[in-house]
Amino acid sequence: MLSSSSSSTSSGGGSSVVHRVHCSLNLNTETGRLSARRPNLQNQPAHEKDRYKVRKAFCAAPGNTLVVADYGQLELRLLAHMADCKSMIRAFELGGDFHSRTALGMYDYIQEAVDKGECLLEWDEAHEAGPPPVPLLKDKFGGERRKAKILNFSIAYGKTAHGLAKDWGTSLEEAEATVARWYADRPEVRDWQARTRAYAARNGWVNTMIGRRRRLPEINSSDRRYKGRSERAAINTPIQGSAADVASAAMLSIVRDEALKDMGWRLLLQVHDEVMLEGPRESAQLAKQRVVACMANPWENLLGHVGKPLRVDLAVDASTADTWYEAK
């Protein structure tokens, strides 16, 4: 990586290493989501899996610091908007642990346990004194919450009960029953998926939120494998592709922001729903506020395409740190 992707400058016969690694970013992907190569900086180990703390190698220059900001459940929020799903919109309005709320709506016995005070949906340590008096839902019903989380993302991307049964190592009947419970509280999602598949079959393509088109030439194939793959892509593309639209619009807002430019901040990297900037330490808090504002309201760069903002707010979490590892 050092030989092919690191930066150096030379003047006369000498050279100086500037300790920067540059990757190539590609916009020409099936959904419009940025990809990276040489090296793939978007594929660094996740924080909880970063056994060797690789992300500590990505650090700010002396006198500078980093601002790292990312969207909270961006793709699920876009699904809630596109499907106009009342249950999902309500959950996002209430805030807190979205996946625990999903499990609460799927399993009657979890709702009963919460109603009886046997567990809590969540506990705000910043505003509550001491530890929670009873277990949290995510701890008492961890298995159910994990299934709810998997379902939130898998169904959003068109995964079937057959695929989930393989993932979970359960029977098809059990997977179908679990999927049915998920849809029971979110019928608008099932309806949106059916409309989207039908649109793709009629037209041979689907669109993202701003009208970018992905063609699906095999959507009406007689081969079930090709047809199924295209139908999943028909569901996935409007969600993942629209998330890429929002992330790109947010990047435009950030690089065009006069306050960030005047303070000397610059965008270093985008990792799908996350951005990283570097700038002077003394203005880090103000820069963080500006970045959050740009990401939470990127519509100026999408007006004329979207027509109106989402039915749900965009949640953005940001932090400052000297290294990428410490920012999470």
Inside any domain, residue 153: yes
| Mean pLDDT (whole number) for 261-282 | 96
- Residues 307 and 221: their CA atoms lie apart, in Å, by 34
Give 13's pLDDT tier (boundaries 50, 70, 90). Answer: very low
Inside any domain, residue 300: no
Supply the pLDDT for residue 169: 87
Give 14's pLDDT tier (boundaries 50, 70, 90). Answer: very low
| Mean pLDDT (whole number) for 109-124 | 93
| Mean pLDDT (whole number) for 190-218 | 96
Phi, psi of 16, rounded to the nearest 5 degrees: -135, 130
Structure pTM?
0.87
- Residues 178 and 157: their CA atoms lie apart, in Å, by 16
How many contiguous H segments (helices) and E segments (strands) does the chain have? 13, 10
On average, the pLDDT of the chain sits at 89
- What is the SS3 assignment for 82? helix
- pLDDT(215) > 80: yes
Sign of CA dihedral 270, 274, 280, 281: negative
Q: What is the pLDDT of residues 218-248, one digit of tens each?
A: 999 999 999 999 999 999 999 999 999 999 9
Give 2's pLDDT tier (boundaries 50, 70, 90). Answer: very low
Range of the domain at 112: 86-185
Inside any domain, residue 26: no
Inside any domain, residue 181: yes
- What is the SS3 assignment for 216? coil
Give 127's pLDDT tier (boundaries 50, 70, 90). Answer: low
Inside any domain, residue 93: yes
Domain count, the chain: 1
Q: Which of 95-104, 124-133, 164-173 has the lowest mean pLDDT?
A: 124-133
* Cβ contacts of 288 within 8 Å, gap of 6 or more: 67, 69, 318, 319, 320
- Residues 269 and 60: their CA atoms lie apart, in Å, by 13
- pLDDT(12) > 90: no
Inside any domain, residue 109: yes
- pLDDT(68) > 50: yes
Give 304's pLDDT tier (boundaries 50, 70, 90). Answer: low
Q: What is the pLDDT of residues 136-175, one digit of tens each?
A: 999 999 999 998 999 999 887 778 888 889 888 889 999 9
Inside any domain, residue 79: no
- Residues 263 and 223: their CA atoms lie apart, in Å, by 57
Phi, psi of 13, rounded to the nearest 5 degrees: -95, -5
Phi, psi of 62, rounded to the nearest 5 degrees: -55, 135
| Mean pLDDT (whole number) for 97-119 | 94
Supply the pLDDT for residue 319: 97
**Helix runs in the chain, H state only:** 2-5, 74-83, 86-94, 98-106, 108-115, 137-140, 142-156, 161-168, 172-184, 187-203, 224-256, 258-263, 284-296
Structure tokens belonging to residue 79: 């699904």
Supply the pLDDT for residue 306: 54
User: Which of residues 2 and 298 earns the better pLDDT score?
Assistant: 298
| Mean pLDDT (whole number) for 25-43 | 85
| Mean pLDDT (whole number) for 63-84 | 96
Inside any domain, residue 129: yes
| Mean pLDDT (whole number) for 273-296 | 97
| Mean pLDDT (whole number) for 16-31 | 81
* Cβ contacts of 191 within 8 Å, gap of 6 or more: 83
